[in-house]
Amino acid sequence: MTMTRRGIRWGLFTALAMLVAVGVALYQQQPSPGEGEPEGGPIELASTEGDFSLRQLEEDQLAVVFFGYTWCPDVCPMGLAVVRQAMARLEPAQRRRVVPLMISLDPERDTLARLEEYLAFFGEAFIGATAPPEELAPLAERYGVVWRRVETPDSAMAYTIDHSASLFLVDRDGEIRRRVLHSPTSGPLQAALEQALAEG
């Protein structure tokens, strides 16, 4: 009888653990709280490569668009490393069709020179871009990006930027082909890139 009760308890524990795991997985598939449904659209910004526009992309190219900032302690470097890893695992012909673009939400500190220096750690293909806050706000809204400045007076940085961290695969017309939620591994982005590139 004791073993049966233990067995029942173990079975209930296992079932509960599975339900929690499923719940976490489903939660991770949802947008961050407050994150709007992305519309996409044109991107035209000053960048580390001169004036950048999605219209400069070739017909078969996609931009991997990431919103962040160079002083970000964890999410941004991890996201950019994921982009680098995913691109490295693509076939050379596929890789040439991918343009990684980081849009800084911190124009006060992220000059183009700073962006160029920072992105050099991730690869020569990475482009950095930014704009004054009044231009960034409507662009971020169109892409469903939530962001806000958080003052940290006791920190040497003075402030941080809280922001959502999805990656967007965008074509030259500003159409979002795929939206990839933040992940510590490159698998989801690589799969999304391969599918989107295969579609042409």
Q: Is pLDDT above 50 for 153?
A: yes
Q: Can you give the pLDDT at residue 154?
A: 85
- Of 34 and 51, the structure prediction assigns the larger pLDDT to 51
Please report, rounded to a whole number, the percentage of residues in the chain having pLDDT higher than 90: 74
What DSSP letter does each residue of 9-57 carry, written as one string?
HHHHHHHHHHHHHHHHHHHHTSPPTTPPPP-----EEEEBTEEEEGGGS
pLDDT score, position 27: 30
Burial class (CB within 10 angstroms; exposed 0-12, middle 13-18, buried 19+) of 106: buried
Which value, in Å, is the radius of gyration of the alpha carbons in the chain?
20
- Distance (Å, whole) CA 89 – CA 5: 50
Is the confidence at residue 84, as pLDDT, over 50? yes
Higher pLDDT, 196 or 16: 196
Torsion of CA 95, 98, 99, 101, to 10 degrees: -110
The arithmetic mean of pLDDT across residues 70-79, rounded, is 94
pLDDT band at 200 (very low <50, low <70, confident <90, very high): confident
Residue 64 has pLDDT above 60, yes or no: yes
The residue with tokens 């035209």 is 44
Position 177 scores a pLDDT of 97
pLDDT of amino acid 28: 33
pLDDT of residue 36: 56
CATH superfamily ID and name for 44-199: Glutaredoxin (3.40.30.10)
Q: Give me the helices (H) in the chain, please.
A: 2-28, 75-88, 92-95, 112-119, 133-142, 187-199
Domain boundaries, the chain: 1-30, 44-199
**Given a cut of 70, is residue 4 above it in pLDDT?**
no
| Residue 9 pLDDT greater than 60, yes or no | no
What does the mean pLDDT of the chain come to?
Answer: 85
Q: Return the minimum-mean-pLDDT range out of 22-31, 49-58, 137-146.
A: 22-31
CA gap 140, 153 in Å, rounded: 26
Query: pLDDT band at 139, cuts 50/70/90?
Result: very high
Burial class, 147, CB count within 10 angstroms (exposed 0-12 / middle 13-18 / buried 19+): middle
pTM equals 0.80
pLDDT digits (tens, 9 = 90+) for 157-169: 889 999 999 999 9
Q: Return the DSSP state at 135.
A: H
